[in-house]
Structure 1
């Protein structure tokens, strides 16, 4: 399994991906479709994997690695938004959660996905879902981060499902 260096380049101004597909082999499309069917967000999964050239000829490990990278993009977007908000307690709590996500959880999940450690990669992505959910709950229904938290939760839940298939 080879992992080229470039990260996916999706539009980060919108927390949900845009489709940027290119021609692939039938086998690759079938594997992506079949693999994504078992995720909580199959349309998101297919869209992201088909848009990323690293998925061509890839396997489930590659797909999990790609999706973890997308979680990093979304978590970084959330961090940027957090930086624009006033320093209230909920915002500070979210910042702490997302610092851990970006600094610790994502790099460890990438290593676990590369190394074929399904349990660790899955647990780390589930932890990310929990941290984004905790951030959202901290605002008690008045969150200014809902769209970013939801994007992180959506991508991380797909990454967890893909990681569990390694």
Structure 2
């Protein structure tokens, strides 16, 4: 009897881990950077055992961190020759951070429709600046904003599953 219970518990744990891995894969395969998405979620201890709402909370935090990092990169590139365009980038990223922060309270209130709308606005804010640069986009800023874009997009992917 003891062996039967042990086997049952082992199978249940294995199945739970597989389901969790599938949840991460299900979300990340839809993102614009599945490798970054998957590696980030799998390495975050909060994702272990998290449901879709838990994953949304992680995505919100990662989106906020990555967008704030984009602001920091933009500020480091600021000079007299690019002041106008970098200032616009900083404004857009700052707007995105404010919208992302609002998403957390919307998720907590289970206002998923508004969360999707505000998340879409944040995604637009993150992506808008690159049109200004065209081919002259600074590589550091392109990389930073790409990460922000991935995590805001992930938030929307998860929100659409709620």
Give the alignment's TM-score, normalised by structure 1: 0.75
Question: What pairs up with 1:51-62 in 2 under 5 angstroms?
Answer: 51-62=43-54
Is the 8 Å Cα contact of residues 96 and 123 (structure 2) preserved in structure 1?
no
Q: In the alignment, which of 87, 100, 103 is matched to residue 92 of structure 1? A: 87
Gaps of 5+ in 2: 1-15
Partner of 1:136: 130
CA distance in 2 between counterparts of 1:125 and 1:32 reads 19
Aligned CA RMSD, in angstroms, stands at 2.0
Larger radius of gyration: 2
1:97-155, Cα deviation, whole Å (9 max, x unpaired): 112222x2111111122332222222222222211221111123312222222221122
CA distance in 2 between counterparts of 1:30 and 1:143 reads 36
Structure with higher helix content:
2
Is the 8 Å Cα contact of residues 41 and 158 (structure 1) preserved in structure 2?
no
CA distance in 1 between counterparts of 2:96 and 2:131 reads 17
Gaps of 5+ in 1: 1-23
Q: How many residues align?
A: 142
Change (3 A) 1:134 1:35: closer
Question: What pairs up with 1:71-110 in 2 under 5 angstroms?
Answer: 71-84=63-76, 85-86=78-79, 88-102=83-97, 104-110=98-104
1:62-121, Cα deviation, whole Å (9 max, x unpaired): 11110111111111111111111225111111111112222x211111112233222222
Q: In the alignment, which of 108, 119, 124 is matched to residue 114 of structure 1? A: 108
Change (3 A) 1:39 1:80: closer
